């Protein structure tokens, strides 16, 4: 409790098997090989709680961060306003922006302490997102937010991944069922490309109206892989898996499942490293090209969403890092996400970063505003 933020890392401090069982909601009694950590000493006094900070430095930080935290809220069905998460998002945005600003200026970073990346010598995209991940972990300790490659080696090799249903049986998931109209044509198109179908069945796929029609064509549970085009090699990376499964007693589950396999991890690590290098070069260009830098920030964000390297929390961490990258360059984002627009799903279901950018540009780019870096630089460092 007395150590600073950068000295704490739940991903490294907790046993990988414990984290895996937590993600899978297994009962604790199955953790037979796990050794519990020492309990808190009861003699340690409780922390004094104060709802109103009186430290001028803390007050200045909270006031500055508030505007960025509010940007996190989704104006879509099923997403309630969460002040705790918004406060976290504001602080995380400032923290990441401070670290990036130092990196842009000096090509060095002060990320000492426990980092989740295995290569801490070279500053990379993972340092940026790891900060967002750690803030997300602290903001709600009950949520199992973990880097997938830091679960057990067996689970990582197996391909542990996130699972988000849009339809479950007769239930249309209030948050994500609005993505069915966007994803259904992709399912049809990729079924024709990826499945060994006769011309007659291909015609039936094109004429299908709903999930049941597609299931009746295949007559079994199945999935297709969404394409994600690489700008590094020109190849197509493995996106997410659009999956249809029979759901008893009646109905179907229609979901996205994103496996975190080691080969896929290598592909996205290289892709994100490449785009982050391009962004770094663009930042150092004189004069700066605002649209070029903005496009590259969104390209990094696009690959992060398609990568989906966390057990949960990928959407929030990606959005926080995106806003922070702009802020580190003296660009404040003042526009809010439009109603019924899920930024992460726009990335997941688009095959190329340029298409993703075109979806965000109409509302995001007009909200870019130059902000005073003098005020920014006067703020105390978050960590």
Write the DSSP string, 256-267. EEEE--HHHHHH
Alpha carbon of 226 to those of 62, 124, 180: distances in Å? Answer: 41, 26, 14
Instruction: Classify residue 82: in a domain, yes or no.
Output: yes
Assess whether pLDDT exceeds 60 at residue 20. Answer: yes
Q: pLDDT (tens digit, 9 = 90+) per residue, 241-297? A: 999 999 988 899 999 999 999 999 999 999 999 999 999 999 999 899 999 999 999
Work out the percent of the chain whose per-residue pLDDT is above 90.
74
Q: In which domain, by residue range, is 147 found?
A: 5-37+56-154+264-378
Residue that terminates a domain, selected from 226, 259, 292: 259
Does residue 178 share a domain with residue 29?
Answer: no
Residue 236 inside a domain? The answer is yes
**Does pTM surpass 0.85?**
yes
Compute the distance between CA of residue 75 and CA of residue 279 in angstroms, rounded to an integer: 30
Residue 173 has pLDDT above 70, yes or no: yes
Any domain includes 44: no
Same domain, 138 and 273: yes
pLDDT at position 114, please? 56
CATH number at residue 305: 1.10.3290.20
pLDDT attached to residue 1: 57
Stretch 315-322: mean pLDDT, rounded?
A: 98
Looking up tokens 């997410």 gives 240
Q: Are residues 104 and 17 part of one domain? A: yes
The 10 Å Cβ neighbour count of residue 143 is 13
Residue 60 lies in a domain: yes
- The label of the residue with tokens 């290289």 reads 270
Give yes or no: residues 135 and 196 share one domain.
Answer: no
Domain count, the chain: 2
Q: Do 143 and 72 sit in the same domain of this protein? A: yes
User: Tell me: the pLDDT tens digits for 58-107?
Assistant: 999 999 999 999 999 999 999 999 999 999 999 999 999 999 999 999 87
pLDDT band at residue 26 using 50, 70 and 90 as cut-offs? confident
Q: What angle do CA 320, 323, 324 make, to 5 degrees?
A: 80
Q: Are residues 146 and 184 in the same domain?
A: no
51 found inside a domain: no
- Compute the average pLDDT of residues 1-14: 79
Residues 319, 20: Cα–Cα separation, whole Å:
25
Residue at which a domain ends, from 203, 224, 259: 259
């Amino acid at each position: 409790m007395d150590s600073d933020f950068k000295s704490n890392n739940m991903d490294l401090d907790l046993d990988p098997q414990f984290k895996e069982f937590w993600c899978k909601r297994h009962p604790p009694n199955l953790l037979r090989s796990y050794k519990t950590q020492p309990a808190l000493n009861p003699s340690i006094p409780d922390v004094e709680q104060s709802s109103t900070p009186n430290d001028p430095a803390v007050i200045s930080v909270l006031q500055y961060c508030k505007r960025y935290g509010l940007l996190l809220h989704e104006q879509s069905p099923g997403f309630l306003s969460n002040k705790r998460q918004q406060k976290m998002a504001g602080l995380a945005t400032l923290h990441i922006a401070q670290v990036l600003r130092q990196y842009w200026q000096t090509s060095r970073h002060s990320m000492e302490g426990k980092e989740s990346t295995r290569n801490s010598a070279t500053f990379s995209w993972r340092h940026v997102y790891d900060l967002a991940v750690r803030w997300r972990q602290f903001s709600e300790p009950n949520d199992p937010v973990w880097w997938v490659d830091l679960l057990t080696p067996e689970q990582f090799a197996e391909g542990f991944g996130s699972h988000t249903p849009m339809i479950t049986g007769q239930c249309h998931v209030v948050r994500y069922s609005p993505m069915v109209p966007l994803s259904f044509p992709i399912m049809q198109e990729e079924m024709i490309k990826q499945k060994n179908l006769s011309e007659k069945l291909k015609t039936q796929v094109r004429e299908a109206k709903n999930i049941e029609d597609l299931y009746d064509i295949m007559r079994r549970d199945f999935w297709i892989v969404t394409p994600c085009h690489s700008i590094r090699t020109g190849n197509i990376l493995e996106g997410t898996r659009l999956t249809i499964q029979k759901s008893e007693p009646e109905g179907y589950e229609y979901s996205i499942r994103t496996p975190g396999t080691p080969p896929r991890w290598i592909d996205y690590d290289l892709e994100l490293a490449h785009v982050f290098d391009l962004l770094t070069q663009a930042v150092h260009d004189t004069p700066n090209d605002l649209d070029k830098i903005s496009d590259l920030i969104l390209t990094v964000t696009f690959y992060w969403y398609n990568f989906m390297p966390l057990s949960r929390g990928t959407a929030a961490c990606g959005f926080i890092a995106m806003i922070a990258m702009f802020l580190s360059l003296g660009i404040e984002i003042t526009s809010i996400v439009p109603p019924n627009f899920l930024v992460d799903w726009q990335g997941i279901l688009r095959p190329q970063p340029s298409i993703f950018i075109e979806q965000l540009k109409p509302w995001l780019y007009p909200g870019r505003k130059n902000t005073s870096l003098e005020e920014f630089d006067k703020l105390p460092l978050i960590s």
